[in-house]
């Protein structure tokens, strides 16, 4: 494929050509398969291709009834964030950009404005009233935990929880539980970056890019054995599927992603991503005691520029993209559509079983925020860190908007149903 210099977009550590005939055919073919319309941008003077065009064609949980809150733009917001690294002690070092010297502040002064309405500000008191007597859990990888830590900070305006993690596990780095006694509310995360059973396959041990085995038809018991006790489940995953992986089904090796092994078919990252989401969703609706509400948060794109994540890539921008500047590359589109397709398929079955599945669509809004990542401000300057972080999000930062979405959807579910969550 011939690539012109001004047609390359670097996202998630990939260089992707825009506007090539082959690229257009690939995207159109993908969209035809899932029966969703999208027009690709030919040049910067035309309408930017956005996931919002897909949003408008999805029913029920993707488009919130009163207002499609996921289609809009980032607008200047002089008031700034809800909290700071001084007022919230729950921020971990990896996301504490202000603590470690990030010099710019403009990225803190933007707010998401839906096209059809005003997104209400986060109200911690209201949120805690809605979840009183409930248990909420984030299932997935560290980006999901990123959202939970944002929620801890947002709620700290009115209430501080007790960390009760040690009552449930000795691994308190990856499995956290917090209890808000004044509202009898539990907030937790269950670490499972693949949703399915996984193990290291590299004899030299685990590294950032070592090969792993994942068993695509076997749910990870780390979350599957615990999730029935929760009333609200936020499920998400993404970036771990791009590393070298060996795929197993029915106990047999069926293929891989970037494994480089002879006689093993490379099925690509999308194969594992699709099958893992399918297993996770099916596990939830098959659990006999599970009666909770499930929120599927869509893919959160990275913004590596000037190289891949492990080849000096960074994210130094200080303001959002405009929709004219943003180009939706094939990689992000494929990842987004793959998981959405699985969600839409299981949503119908969940409804038949009396379960509520909803989608928190964060892909397009975060694609617009290359300025929101820690980059090299997630650690002390004297620490020897090899890679910049353009995957996770600074706290405070644009990730707080996800919890504004969550509150909006929780309230909508409360008012549109005769029974509480």
Distance CA 145, CA 151 (A): 10
Residue where the block lists tokens 């409804």: 351
Distance CA 215, CA 243 (A): 15
Phi, psi of 384 (to 5 degrees): -90, 85
3-state secondary structure of 33: helix
E-strand ranges in 102-195 read 110-114, 135-140, 162-163, 175-180, 185-191
CB 140 within 8 Å of CB 195: yes
| CB neighbour list of residue 98: distance below 8 Å, 6 or more residues apart | 84, 85, 394
Is 392 in the active site?
yes
Token reading at 97: 């950009």
Token reading at 29: 């073919």
3-state secondary structure of 76: strand
Integer CA distances (angstroms), 342 to 338, 347, 357, 359, in order: 7, 9, 12, 12
Per-residue DSSP letters for 40-58? Answer: PPSSTTSPPP-THHHHTT-
Please, how many CA atoms are within 13 Å of residue 18, restricted to the half-sphere of its CB? 22
Is 48 in the active site?
no
Query: Which of 220, 231, 389, 400 is flagged as catalytic?
Result: 389
| CB neighbour list of residue 94: distance below 8 Å, 6 or more residues apart | 374, 378, 379, 389, 392
Query: Which of 239, 303, 373, 392 is flagged as catalytic?
Result: 392
Query: Which of 142, 192, 300, 358 is flagged as catalytic?
Result: 142
Between helix 269-286 and helix 330-352 the angle, nearest 10°, is: 20
| CB neighbour list of residue 418: distance below 8 Å, 6 or more residues apart | none
Taken in order 351, 420, 144, 405, the sign of the CA dihedral is positive
Distance CA 368, CA 48 (A): 12
CB 142 within 8 Å of CB 100: no
As annotated, the active-site residues are: 142, 389, 392
């Amino acid at each position: 494929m011939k690539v012109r210099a001004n047609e390359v977009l670097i996202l998630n550590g990939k260089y992707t050509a825009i506007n090539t005939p082959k690229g257009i055919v690939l995207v159109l073919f993908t969209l035809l398969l899932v029966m969703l319309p999208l027009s690709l941008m030919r040049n910067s003077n035309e309408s930017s291709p956005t996931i919002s065009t897909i949003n408008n064609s999805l029913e029920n949980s993707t488009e919130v009834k009163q207002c499609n809150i996921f289609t809009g733009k980032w607008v200047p917001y002089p008031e700034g964030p809800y909290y700071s690294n001084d007022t919230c002690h729950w921020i971990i070092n990896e996301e504490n950009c202000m603590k470690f010297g990030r010099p710019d502040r403009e990225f803190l002064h933007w707010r998401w404005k839906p096209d059809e309405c005003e997104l209400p500000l986060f109200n911690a008191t209201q949120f805690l009233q809605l979840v009183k007597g409930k248990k909420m859990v984030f299932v997935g990888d560290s980006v999901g935990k990123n959202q939970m830590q944002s929620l801890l900070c947002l709620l700290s305006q009115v209430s501080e929880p007790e960390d009760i993690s040690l009552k449930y596990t000795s691994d308190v780095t990856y499995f956290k539980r917090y209890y808000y006694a004044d509202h009898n509310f539990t907030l937790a995360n269950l670490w499972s970056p693949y949703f399915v059973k996984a193990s290291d396959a590299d004899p030299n041990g685990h590294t950032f890019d070592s090969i792993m085995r994942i068993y695509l038809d076997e749910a990870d018991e780390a979350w599957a054995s615990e999730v029935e006790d929760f009333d609200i489940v936020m499920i998400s995953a993404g970036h771990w599927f791009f590393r070298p992986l060996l795929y197993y089904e029915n106990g047999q090796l069926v293929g891989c992603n970037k494994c480089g092994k002879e006689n093993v078919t490379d099925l690509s990252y999308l194969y594992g991503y699709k099958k893992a989401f399918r297993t996770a969703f099916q596990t939830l609706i098959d659990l006999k005691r599970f009666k909770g509400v499930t929120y599927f948060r869509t893919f959160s794109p990275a913004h590596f520029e000037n190289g891949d994540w492990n080849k000096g890539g960074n994210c130094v921008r200080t303001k959002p993209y405009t929709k004219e500047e943003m180009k939706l590359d094939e990689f992000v589109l494929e990842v987004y559509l793959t998981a959405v397709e699985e969600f839409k398929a299981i949503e119908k079955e969940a409804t038949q079983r009396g379960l509520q599945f909803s989608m928190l669509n964060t892909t397009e809004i975060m694609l617009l925020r290359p300025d929101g990542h820690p980059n090299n401000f997630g650690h002390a300057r004297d620490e020897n860190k090899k890679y910049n972080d353009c995957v996770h999000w600074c706290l405070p930062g644009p990730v707080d908007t996800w919890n504004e979405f969550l509150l909006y959807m929780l309230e909508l579910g409360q008012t549109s149903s005769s029974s509480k969550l």
